[in-house]
Amino acid sequence: MEKSFDAMVSSFKEFVKRIKQYEEALAVIYWDLRTGAPKKGVPGRAEVIGMLSTEVFRMSTSTEMEEYLGYFTKEENSKLLDNIMKALVKEYKKDFDRFKKIPEEVYKEYVILTSEAESVWEEAKNNNDFDLFSPYLEKIVSFNLKFIEYWGCKSNKYDTLLDYYEPGMTVEKLDKIFKELREKIVPLVSKIKVSEHQPDDSIFKKDFCIKKQDDFSRYILEKMGYDFEAGRLDESEHPFTIGMTPGDVRITTHYYKNLFSSALFSAVHEGGHALYEQNISADLNGTALCTGTSMGVHESQSRLWENMIGRSYEFWKCYYPELLKVFPEQFEGVSLDEFYRAINKVESSLIRVEADELTYNLHIMIRYEIEKALINQEIKVADLPRIWNERMEEYLGVVPTNDAEGVLQDVHWSGGSFGYFPSYTLGNIYSAQLLNAIKRDIPDLSERLSNGDMLVIKEWLADKVHKHGKLLTPAEILKSVTGEEIEPKHLVQYLEDKYTQIYKL
C-alpha cells in the first residue's frame, strides 16, 4: 500500500535529518583538524572524512532521494507543501541535479584532481612557481566548462557558477554593480594616497600579551551577543566559523604577539558569521535550511560587525577606555581619535586578506574579471600572471614583484571554487544596505552604540535576517528589510563619508 502524504513528509524529514547529522559529524572533525588534532591522528581522521562525505553524497543522489523529490514535485502533492517543505524540496533538488547530472567517474576524477591541486598550489606558492600550478588550473577550468554543459548553460557561462554561491546573481548585474563601485572607489583611494593626514598604525606593532588579547576578544564577543554556551573561541592558523546546529557554532581567531588589531577584528568578523548561525529559527533545525541563505549574505553579517560596527567611532568611544585598562602602557598617549584613525588606515597592498575595507573590493574585482574571462574562454591560464599584474597596477597602483604575492596568493582556484570571490564584495554592499535599515529602525543607534549597547543590533539582525536561515533567498531578505534590490550606492556613500572625514579630504 502507498504511504499517505503525511507519512511521506515525515519519512522525508527523517531522511534529510540523517544527511544533516552526517554533515554535523563532518563539521566537528574539520574543526578538530584545524584547532590542534594530534598529527599522528590526521591520516585516520581523513579516512573518516572520506567515508562520511561519500555517505552524504550517496544519500543526496540516491534513488530514495529521487523518489521523494519525484513525489513532492508532482502537482497534486506540491500544492499541499508548507513553506518549509517547499524550500527543502527545492534545496535538495538543487543538490540532486547538481551532482546527478555529472557522470560519476567524471566527478571522482575531479575530486582527485582538486585534492592534488591544493598541495601543488601550496608548493607553487612557496616556490613562486606559476608554471608548476598552471597545468592543474587548466584542467580544473576545463572540468568546470564540462560541468556547465551538464548543468545547463545560462546566458553567460559564468552565471551558472555564480548562481551556486549567490542564487539569482548574474554577470549582467555584477558588471554593472562592480563598475559603479570601481568608478567611485579608485579615485577615492587615489585621493587618500596623497592626503597629508595619514593615520599612524605603528601603535599596533608593540608587545601585546596573548592571554589579554584573548580575554578582550571574549569580552567584546559577549557584548555582541555571541552565546558562549552555544559556541567557543579557539585559535587556528586561518580564522573561521563552523556551525553544527544553532546550539553549537564555533569560531576561531589567530593571535599575533606583536600585532594587536588582527586577532580582535578576526574574532569580531567570525562572531558576525556565528551570530547568524546561532539565531536561525528552531523550526529549521535538522534540515539544509538551517544555515545562511548565501555566501554574500553571510559575509554581510561578518563585515557589518567587523567594519561598520567594530571600526566605528561610536563603538570605540565606549570600548577604548576598556581597552586602555587592559593595555595601558602600549596605548599610552594615544587618543581615541588617533586610535580610531589607525584601525581605519587605507593602504593599497598586494595581499587580499590583509586589505582594508575600502581597497578590499578592488582585489575582488580583479579576481572576478579573471574568472569571468577564463570561464568564457577569452583568456588562457598562461596569461594570468600578466593580466593579474596589469589589473593591480590599474586598480590599486601597486604591482607584485612575484607570483607568490600576485596570482598565486589565494587557495580558491585550486579547489575549483569559481564564482565564490564576488560574495565578499556583495557582502560589503548588502551590509551597507542593512546598516541604513538599522539606522532607520533604531533612530538613536549612534547614542546606544556609544554606550556599548550592541544587543539592539544583534536582535534586529536576528529578527530580520538570521531567523529565516535559507528559507528566504538573498533578494527576498533584502527586499523585505530595505524595500530595495541590491544597490551599491549605499556602500559608496558609507565609504565616502567615512574616509572623507578620516583623511580630511
Active-site residues, by number, are: 270
User: What residue number has its CB nearest to Zn ion?
Assistant: 302
**How many Cβ atoms from other residues are within 10 Å of residue 170's Cβ?**
16
User: Looking at beta carbons only, is 230 or 267 nearer to Zn ion?
Assistant: 267
User: Looking at beta carbons only, is 295 or 407 nearer to Zn ion?
Assistant: 295
Closest CB 417 distance from Zn ion, rounded Å? 14
The piece of 135-143, 209-217, 298-306, 408-416 that touches Zn ion (CB under 5 A) is 298-306
The piece of 155-163, 206-214, 252-260, 299-307 that touches Zn ion (CB under 5 A) is 299-307
Question: 253, 294, 302, 348: which one contacts Zn ion (CB under 5 A)?
Answer: 302
Closest CB 261 distance from Zn ion, rounded Å? 17
User: Looking at beta carbons only, is 144 or 302 nearer to Zn ion?
Assistant: 302
User: Looking at beta carbons only, is 88 or 224 nearer to Zn ion?
Assistant: 224
Strand order in the sheet with 248-253: 233-235, 248-253, 241-245
User: Looking at beta carbons only, is 338 or 410 nearer to Zn ion?
Assistant: 410
Q: Is 291 in the site for Zn ion (CB under 5 A)?
A: no
Closest CB 301 distance from Zn ion, rounded Å? 8
- Contacts made by residues 392-397, CB under 8 angstroms, sequence distance 24+: 392/350, 392/366, 395/182, 395/186, 395/362, 395/365, 395/366, 396/189, 396/348, 396/349, 396/359, 396/362, 396/363, 397/189, 397/190, 397/193, 397/348
Nearest Cα residue to 494 out of 304, 276, 278: 304
What is the rounded CA–CA span in Å between residue 160 and residue 359?
A: 27
The piece of 246-254, 282-290, 294-302, 367-375 that touches Zn ion (CB under 5 A) is 294-302
**How many Cβ atoms from other residues are within 10 Å of residue 288's Cβ?**
20
Please tell me the count of residues contacting Zn ion according to CB under 5 A: 1
Closest CB 306 distance from Zn ion, rounded Å? 8
**What cell does 153 get?**
548553460
Closest CB 282 distance from Zn ion, rounded Å? 25
User: Looking at beta carbons only, is 269 or 458 nearer to Zn ion?
Assistant: 269
The piece of 90-98, 190-198, 295-303, 467-475 that touches Zn ion (CB under 5 A) is 295-303
Contact, 434 vs 474, CB < 8 A?
Answer: no
Tell me which amino acid residue 346 is.
V
User: Looking at beta carbons only, is 298 or 498 nearer to Zn ion?
Assistant: 298
Closest CB 299 distance from Zn ion, rounded Å? 5
* Alpha helices, H only, 61-203: 63-73, 75-78, 83-100, 104-126, 130-151, 157-165, 171-193
Give the DSSP letter of residue 228.
G
The piece of 77-85, 117-125, 252-260, 302-310 that touches Zn ion (CB under 5 A) is 302-310
What is the rounded CA–CA span in Å between residue 407 and residue 265?
A: 26
Chain centroid to Cα 175, Å, comes to 20
**What cell does 139 get?**
584542467
Closest CB 283 distance from Zn ion, rounded Å? 26
Q: Which helix (H) or strand (E) holds 39?
A: none
Give the DSSP letter of residue 3.
P
Q: Is 301 in the site for Zn ion (CB under 5 A)?
A: no
Chain residues in the site for Zn ion (CB under 5 A): 302
